[in-house]
Structure 1
Amino acid sequence: MQKNPGAKTIEGDLEEALFHAGAVPEQDRGCPKRFDWARSARTDKGVSAVGQVVSGRFYVDPPGLVQRLNSILPPQIRIFGYKRVTASFNAKKFCDRRRYVYLIPVFALDPSCHRDRESVLASLGSENELVKCLECSERGRKVEGIMGKRNFDSKIGLDVGKLESGISSNNQDAGTTEEKIKDFSLGANNGGFDIEKTEEDEVLVQDVNQEEVKAIKKSDFRYGEEERERFNRVLQYYQGTHNFHNFTTRTKAEDPAARRYIISFDAKTTVNVEGIEFVKCEVIGQSFMLHQIRKMIGLAVAIMRNIAPESLIETAFRQDVDINVPMAPEVGLYLDECFFSSYNQKWKDSHEELSMQTYAEEAEDFKMQYIYSHIASTEHKEGVVALWLHSLNYRNYPDLRFINNNVNNDVESLGIEAKDGEK
C-alpha cells in the first residue's frame, strides 16, 4: 500500500478508482496532496492488509460511492465502508496502534523439519539423526508431489504460479454532498508478478529407498501446550520499548527512530488452511520499521528450531552490537487492523467510532477467501517457508551460533561484531 514509480500498486489503483467513481475531481487526479490523502500504514510488496485506513477530502454524492468503487476495483481490492471524521483528521498521524498478523506454518517450529544439508550430514550416526528433505531440491526449489495431498510421481515439474494482488470490502452506501474528510477501511492482498516455468526447473525424483522413506512420513511435531508456552515466552521478549536497529535496514542504532514500543506479541491460536496448519502470531505496536516484524519472526523461529539461544534477542537490542538477524518470508504477513483510540475518545460525542467492528464479518470472509488461501497456496506451490528454513543455518547466519546467557559480557566474547569505539 504505497506508490512505486513504474510499478502497479494498490494505492495507485485506489486513487484511479476514486477518480472514476467521482470522488476526486479532474483537476486533482494524480495529485493526492490536493485532497489531503493519507494512509494509516504502508505495506511492502508481498504483504497483505485487511484493516487498512485511508483519509482525504472526497465527493460522496450521488449515494452509492462504496458500490461504485468496488465495481471499478478488482475483486482482491475491496472497500469496506467510510465514516465522517474531523477536518484535521489524518489516517497516519491519528493512528496510535497497529496490529499485524504473521501466519507461520507449524512445521517451521519443528527443529527436525526442512534442515539444511550440513546439519543432516553432521547428524549422521547420532541419536538425533536427521534425514534429507525430499520436498526441496539441492538447487533451492520446491519439489511438488512428495508430501501433502499430491500423488508421488517419478517426474515432477515445478508449478510456480501467478501471485495475487489486491484489497477487500463492504457494500455500505455513502451519503451527503462533498465531505470535508472521509476515511476508508480497506482489505488488501499484495504481490503481483509472473514466473515462467522452464525445462531447467523440472526435477527428477528417483525411486525412494528405505533410508528415504522416513523423510516422507509426516513429523509427529505438534503445536501443543509446551510448544505454545515456549513460543509465546520467546515472543514476549519483544514487548516493551527497545532499540530494534538489528531488526530493520538503513536505520542506525543511534537513530531515535530505532526505538519502538511493542504493546503485545503472542501466538495463542492456530488455523488450518488447505491442509497446512498455521500458527497465528499477532503483534500490536505503535509503529513498525521496514522488515521489523519479519525479522522478529525470523529470529523467534530460529530459537524455536534450536539454532539460536533465547538470550540473543536481548543481545540484539544492544546499541553497541550488530547482528545479522534472519528475515522470514513476506507472504505470511498482513496488516490486520489500525486503531484510533485517542481520536475515538476525544470525539466520541460528535463522530462515529473508527474501528473494524462494523466490518468484522466481511473482513473475516476476506481473510479466508483471499489472504489465507493465498498464503497456503503459495506455500503449496513454491514452498517459500520450507526453502527459507533450509537457509536458516550458521553458514548464512553465523551470529546465531554463540550461546551466552550473560548479555553484559564483553561483545568480543559473544562472537558478534562490535562497533568502533564501543568494545
Structure 2
Amino acid sequence: MSAEQEPPTKKQKPNYNFRKDEDYTRLEEKNPDLKKRKVAMIFGYAGTGYSGLQYNGVHKTIEKEIWENLILNGYVSKDNAVDLKKTGWQRCARTDKGVHALGNLISFKIQFNEKDKSKEEIEKEFISKMNATLPDQIKMFGCQRVTGGFDAKNSCSSRMYEYLLPTYSFIGPEKNKSGIYNELRDKNFNGGYDNYEDLENDKYWDDLKQLGIEKFGKELYEEIKNFKFSTDKEEALDPERISLYEKSKTLKAMETNFKNSYRISEKKLNDFRMMMSQYLGYHNFHNYTIGQSFKSASSFRYMININVEDPIVNNGIEWVKIKIHGQSFMLHQIRKMIAMAVLCCRYQCSKDLIQESFTSKRFNIPKAPPLGLYLNHPIFDFANKKLAQNGHLPIDFSRFEKEMDLLQKNHVFDKIYNVEVEENIYTTFFKFIDGFKFNNEISELSVQDKESKSTEELEQNSSNPFAFFINCKKRWDDDIENEILYIDDSNFKKMKEEEKEKKRLIRLEKRNERLAQEALEKKVSGAAEESKAEDVNKDEEVKSENTTSTEPKQDA
C-alpha cells in the first residue's frame, strides 16, 4: 500500500440490540424467573372461517389467532412479539383455506416460569391458559420440551391426511343432457370407444325422472323442469308462474332426498379403491400442484399408505373416508388426487390415465372441494429416537386421542356434514365439471369432418380443459378384472419385490442361455481346431514320409 493511500475503513455492523422505538428503550423489564425453552406445541383446529394455517399479515389465520393468545398469556415477550421468526417459529404441516387439522405441531422458543413446577404442571397450566382464551374451534393439546435442533417441518418423517367424501359424488353426468354425457358416448370424441355405457348411472336418472312423473304427471313434470326464474315484475306476479315456482321447489326437495339416499355399489367402490391405489409409491406429482415442472426434483413424492374405508351413513347421507399416509405433500396435491380418482370412476376411465398423469404430459386436474380434507396428525419416527436419547418425551399423538376425538366430533365432522347439507358443495362442483362441452365448434362438425381428425387433434382444439377424461384411450372394460388392490405400502413393496425377483430370474435365465451358447460355440470351435490340428499333423507326417523316401541311400 502506498503512503498516499488511506487504509480501508471497516464496515460498521448494525446494532440489533434495540427496537426502533422513539426512546430506544426495552418494552418490558426482564423477569429472572422466566426461562426460554425450545418446545413442541401440539394443537388441533377446524379451519372453517380461516384463511389457512400460516400467519399472513392482516388475514385471519390459525397461526395469527394462536400467536396473539401466546402474547396475551405471557408466553412470548413483547420484544419478540413483532416477528414470529425471533422465536424460531416452524410449523409441521401447512393447511389451506378451510382445511382442518385434528393434530398439528409447531416448534418454537417459549418463555416459562419453571420455579417450583414440574414438567407436567407447566404443560397443564399452558393448556388451561391457552384454551381459556382461544376460540372453541382451536384446541391446545400439549406443550413439551424438545432438543435445540428439533424442527417441526424437517424433523417430521411423514403425515397422515384424511378426506370425507359423500358417495353421491360418484353419480355420473345427468342423462340426455348436452355436454359430457353425450360426448362420452360418441366415438368421435371418446377416443374411438364403441361400447361406452354406464347402466348403473342411467338407472339412477331414469328412476329420478319416474319419481317426478309419478308426482306431477309427465306434461307438468316437463314444464317444471323447463321453468326458469324471472326477475320481471309482471312475470313474478303471474299466478301460473308462482304455482310453477312452488312446484319446482317441491321437485328440487324430492331430487335432493333421492340423491341423499344414494348408496355406492360394491363394484364402484372397488374401482375407486383401485384408482386410489395407483398413487402408492414414488411418483412425479407435477400435475397435482401448481408451478411445478416435470423435471423438478421436488415434484417427486412418496405415498406410504392409502386406505378407502367402508362407507358410513350420517343424517341419511352415505360418506366414505379416504386415509392417505405420505412422506410429504405439495399445495393442492391431495385435493387433486381425490378429484382425479373420482372423475376417472364417474367417466369410466382406465387406471392407466392416472399412471399417464405421472409422465411429462400436462393434465389440467381440478381441485376437489377443501371441505372434506383434514390433517389427522404428523408422525415423528426418527426424531422421537433422538428425543428419547436426550431424556425428552417422544411426540405421541395417541396421548391426546380423547381430545382429538372430541374436536373431530364437535367441530370438524359436524361442520363438514352441516355445510354440505346446506350448500351442496360436492354436487355443485361435479355438476360444474359435467357442464363442459368438448368444444361447441367441434360438436357442430359433420360426422365426416370428425372422422377425418384424430382424437389428439380434437383434444388440442377443444376448449374443454378436462377433455382428457372424454378422450381417454382405455376404459374400465380394458382393466384387468379382479385385480389385486394394493391399499398399503407393505403390499406395494411386496408387489415390487415380486416384480424385481421375476426380472432377476429372467436375467439369470438369459445369462445361463448366453453361457450355454458360449460354451457350445467354444466346444464347436475347439472341435474344429482339434480337427484342423489333426489335419496339420497328418500333413506333416505325410511330408516327413515323402522326404524319407526321396533321400539317397549312402554306401556302406
TM over 0.5: yes
Q: Which has the larger radius of gyration?
A: 2
Q: Establish whether residue 328 from structure 1 lines up as the match of residue 368 from structure 2.
A: yes
- CA displacement, residues 88-114 of structure 1 (integer Å, 9 cap, x when unaligned): 111111001001111110111233679
* Secondary structure, aligned partner of 2:79: helix
AA matched with 2:432? S
Distance 1:254 1:22, change over 3 A: same
Match of 2:98 among 46, 68, 75: 46
Match of 1:73 in 2: 134
1:201 aligned residue: none
Residues 314, 72 of structure 1: alpha-carbon distance in 2 compared, 3 angstrom cutoff? same
Residue 295 of structure 1, aligned match among 311, 314, 336: 336
Q: Which runs of 5+ in 2 are unaligned?
A: 1-52, 115-121, 186-197, 210-226, 230-243, 438-463, 476-556
**Other-structure match for 2:469:** 400
Question: Helix, strand or coil for the counterpart of 1:389?
Answer: helix
TM-score by length of 2: 0.56
Q: 1:48 to 1:116 in 2, by over 3 A?
A: farther
Q: Helix, strand or coil: the match of 2:310?
A: strand
Residue 308 in 1 paired to residue 349 in 2?
A: yes
Give 1:226 shift. 3.0
Match of 1:363 among 397, 401, 404: 404
Match of 1:27, SS? coil
Q: Does 1:111 align with 2:151?
A: no
Mapped contact 2:176–2:182 kept (Cα < 8 A): no
Shift of 1:323: 0.9
Residues 326 and 307 of structure 1: is their aligned pair in 2 closer, same or farther, counting only changes over 3 Å?
Answer: farther
State the shift of 1:368 in Å: 1.3
Q: In structure 2, do the counterparts of structure 1 residues 212 and 104 end up closer, same or farther at CA, with 3 Å as the change threshold?
A: closer
Report the secondary structure of 1:26's partner residue: coil
Structure 2 counterpart of 1:343: 383
The alpha carbon displacement at 1:243 in A equals 0.7
Query: By percentage of residues, which structure has more helix?
Result: 2
1:196 is matched with none
Hey, which of these two has a bigger chunk of strand by percent?
Answer: 1
Question: For residue 165 of structure 2, what is the amino acid of its counterpart?
Answer: I
Query: What is the CA distance between 1:224 and its match in structure 2?
Result: 4.9
CA distance in 2, matches of 1:133, 1:329: 26
| Count of aligned residue pairs for this structure pair | 337
Assess if the C-alpha contact under 8 Å between 1:97 and 1:287 holds in 2.
yes
Residue aligned with 1:392, SS = helix
RMSD (CA atoms): 3.2
Q: Does structure 1 residue 12 correspond to structure 2 residue 52?
A: no
Shift of 1:215: 4.4
Pick 1 or 2: higher relative contact order, CA cutoff 8 A, min separation 6: 1
The one of 293, 296, 310 equivalent to 1:269 is 310
Q: CA deviation at 1:209?
A: 12
- Percentage of matched positions with identical amino acids: 29
Q: CA deviation at 1:261?
A: 0.7
Q: Which residue of 2 aligns with 1:163?
A: none
Change in Cα spacing, 1:379 to 1:351, as seen in structure 2 (3 Å) is: same
Task: Give yes or no for contact 2:165–2:320 (8 Å, CA) kept in 1.
Answer: yes
Distance change in 2, residues 1:383/1:115 (3 Å): farther
1:89 maps to 150
Partner SS, residue 74 of structure 1: coil
| Post-superposition offset of 1:391 | 1.7
> 1:70, 1:79 within 8 Å by CA — same for their partners in 2?
yes
How many Å apart are 1:341 and its aligned residue? 0.4
- Quick one: structure 1 residues 366 and 209, their matched pair in 2 at CA, closer, same or farther if it must change by over 3 Å? closer
1:225-279 CA distance string (max 9 Å, x none):
4333222111010011111111111111111111111111121133434433211
| 1:380 equivalent in structure 2 | 421
What secondary structure sits across from 1:50 in the alignment?
strand
Are the aligned partners of 1:107 and 1:113 in contact in 2 as well (CA < 8 Å)? Answer: no
Contact 2:339/2:367 (8 A) holds in 1: yes
Distance 1:76 1:341 in 2: 28
- Taking the aligned partners of 1:92 and 1:61, their CA distance within structure 2 comes to 27
1:146-186: CA deviations, max 9, x gaps?
Answer: xxxxxxxx9x9xxxxxxxxxxxxxxxxxxxxxxxxxxxxxx
Residue 534 of structure 2: aligned partner: none
Specify whether residues 91 and 405 from structure 1 end up closer, same or farther in structure 2 by C-alpha distance, changes over 3 A only. same
User: Which of residues 74, 81, 84 is equivalent to 1:22?
Assistant: 74
**Preserved CA contact (<8 Å) 1:242 1:261:** yes
Q: Secondary structure at the match of 2:311?
A: strand
- Cα offset, 1:213, TM superposition: 10
SS at match of 1:222: coil
Q: 1:311 to 1:12 in 2, by over 3 A?
A: same
In 2, Cα distance between equivalents of 1:338 and 1:23 = 24
Residue 284 of structure 1 pairs with residue 330 of structure 2: no
Mapped to 2, the partners of 1:132 and 1:215 lie a distance apart of 11
Q: Tell whether the 8 Å contact from 1:273 to 1:372 is kept in structure 2 after alignment.
A: no
Corresponding residue to 2:160 among 93, 99, 107: 99
Letter in 1 for 2:469: L
